[in-house]
Amino acid sequence: MTYFIDNIDIAVIGAGHSGVEAALAAARLGCKTTLFTISNDAVANMPCNPSIGGTGKGQLVYEIDALGGEMGRAADKVTLQDRMLNSSKGPAVRSKRVQADRRLYQSIMKKTIEHTDNLTLVQAEIVDIKVDESGDVPRVCSVVTALGGVYNAKAVVVCTGTYLDSRIIIGEFTKPSGPDGMHPAVALTKSLQKLGVEIMRFKTGTPPRIDERSVDLSVLERQDGEPVTPYSADTDVKALDARPKLPCYIVYTNEETHRIIRENISRSPLYSGEIHGVGPRYCPSIEDKVVRFPDKTRHQLFLEPTGEGSGELYLQGFSSSMPADVQLQMLHSLRGFEHAVAMRHAYAIEYDCADPTQLNATLEFKAISGLFGAGQFNGTSGYEEAAAQGLIAGINAARYVKGLDGITLTRNSSYIGTLIDDLVTKGTNEPYRMMTSRSEFRLLLRQDNADARLTEIGRNVGLITDERYARFKEKQARIAEEKERISTVVVPPSAALNDILASVGEPPATTGIRLEELIRRPSLTYEMLAPVDPQRQPLPPDVIFTVQTDIKYEGYIKKQLLDAKRFEKLENRKLPDDIDYTAIRGLSTESAQKLTKFRPASIGAASRISGVSPADITVLLIYLDARTPKREENDDEE
Q: Where are the beta strands (DSSP E) in 537-597?
A: none
What is the predicted pLDDT for the residue at 637?
36
pLDDT tops 60 at residue 445: yes
* Residue 526 per-residue DSSP state: T
What is the predicted pLDDT for the residue at 257?
97
Residue pLDDT, tens place only, 270-308: 776 766 666 666 678 899 899 989 999 999 999 999 999
- Taking CA 282 as the corner, what is the angle to CA 433 and CA 57, rounded to the nearest 5 degrees? 35
What is the predicted pLDDT for the residue at 632?
42
Share of the chain above pLDDT 70, in %: 97
User: Is residue 342 classed as helix, strand or coil in its secondary structure?
Assistant: strand
Cα gap 52→61, rounded to integer Å: 8
- Count how many Cα atoms sit within 13 Å of the Cα of residue 320 in the half-sphere of its side chain: 34
Angle between helical axes of 57-67 and 450-461 (0-180°, round to 10): 40
The mean pLDDT value for 121-131 works out to 98
The mean pLDDT value for 560-569 works out to 90
Question: Residue 384's closest CA among 320, 310, 436, 314?
Answer: 436
* Residue 622 per-residue DSSP state: H
Q: Binning pLDDT at 50, 70 and 90, where does residue 634 land?
A: very low
Quote the pTM value.
Answer: 0.93
Q: Is 467 exposed, middle or buried (0-12, 13-18, 19+ CB in 10 A)?
A: exposed
pLDDT tops 70 at residue 521: yes
The mean pLDDT value for 549-553 works out to 95
What is the predicted pLDDT for the residue at 635?
43
Cα gap 113→24, rounded to integer Å: 7
What is the predicted pLDDT for the residue at 240?
86
The mean pLDDT value for 490-518 works out to 95
Residue pLDDT, tens place only, 457-467: 999 999 999 99
Write phi, then psi, for 202 (nearest 5 degrees).
-120, 170
Residue pLDDT, tens place only, 171-221: 999 999 999 889 999 999 999 999 999 999 999 889 999 999 999 999 999
Question: Residue 125's closest CA among 86, 151, 102?
Answer: 151
What is the predicted pLDDT for the residue at 65?
98
β-pairing, 139-145 vs 126-132, is antiparallel
Lowest mean pLDDT among 8-22, 165-179, 195-209, 580-594: 580-594
* Backbone Cα Rg of the chain: 26
Cα gap 249→295, rounded to integer Å: 25
pLDDT tops 80 at residue 362: yes
The mean pLDDT value for 482-499 works out to 96
Domains and CATH numbers, the chain: 3-203+351-461 (3.50.50.60), 209-348 (2.40.30.260), 475-555 (1.10.10.1800), 573-627 (1.10.150.570)
What is the predicted pLDDT for the residue at 308?
94
Residue 26 near residue 10 (C-beta atoms within 8 A): yes
Letter for the amino acid at 616?
Answer: D
Give the helix, strand, coil percentages of the chain, each rounded to 5: 40, 20, 40
* Residue 75 per-residue DSSP state: H
What is the predicted pLDDT for the residue at 90?
86
Q: Which residues of 373-394 are buried (b: 16+ CB within 10 A; e: fewer)?
A: bbbbbbbbbbbbbbbbbbbbbb
β-pairing, 199-206 vs 173-176, is unpaired
What is the predicted pLDDT for the residue at 537?
94
pLDDT tops 80 at residue 608: yes
What is the predicted pLDDT for the residue at 269?
84
What is the predicted pLDDT for the residue at 280?
67
- Residue by residue, DSSP assigns 395-431 as HHHHHHHTTPPPP---TTT-HHHHHHHIIIII--SS-
Question: Residue 47's closest CA among 347, 263, 342, 297?
Answer: 347
Q: Is 30 exposed, middle or buried (0-12, 13-18, 19+ CB in 10 A)?
A: middle
Q: What is the mean pLDDT of the chain?
A: 93
Residue 327 near residue 205 (C-beta atoms within 8 A): no
Name the β-bridge partners of 130.
142
Q: Binning pLDDT at 50, 70 and 90, where does residue 631 land?
A: very low
- Residue by residue, DSSP assigns 155-204 as EEEE--TT-BT-EEEETTEEEE--GGGPPPB-SHHHHHHHTT--EEEEEE
Cα gap 252→395, rounded to integer Å: 44
pLDDT tops 90 at residue 126: yes
Residue 393 near residue 349 (C-beta atoms within 8 A): no
